[in-house]
Copies of this chain bind each other. A is one copy, B any other.
């Protein structure tokens, strides 16, 4: 694996563990068994690391959204697929949801606006899908923004289980979201 790629992988882990602001380039260098200055032969700045991590994941989620929208199934089934893909991404690559959700606010200013724009685009598609499913009668009619926020937030804890062997069951989790506590 290229040193550059190793740096990005380790940076994502470090940002997840300590948060972007509390993570230092010294930390990062030490984990890679390099001197801090050597990092700069591969990357331009700490902010570049955050930028790549945030935007790679933003595009990944937008790609997932596109895939799900194209499927020839009902809106409710598209939502289910979307949730399942979210769960899988969170379990396979736990840094993704964390950085995507918690650390983007540290992006420097024109990037921050671009990032928020992608995020709004994603949320807009998701909300439309929820509204469709409600019109179909598959979902109970509720304010789509509230439902969207609740759904996305409810998956946020998944990344914490990264280290543990015991992964939560995808079907049970989807069941909980679809049927609620009362099931």
Contacts and interface: CB of A to CB of B under 8 A. Distances in A.
Given A150-B157, A153-B157, A177 B180 contact: yes
A166 to B, nearest CB: 9
Interface size class of A (residues with CB under 8 A): 35 or more
Nearest to A161: B149
A5 to B, nearest CB: 26
Contacts of A177: 150, 180-181
A22 B18 CA distance: 12
Interface stretch (A6-14, A60-68, A111-119, A134-142): A134-142
A65 B157 CA distance: 21
A32 interface: no
Contacts of A1: none
Nearest to A168: B146
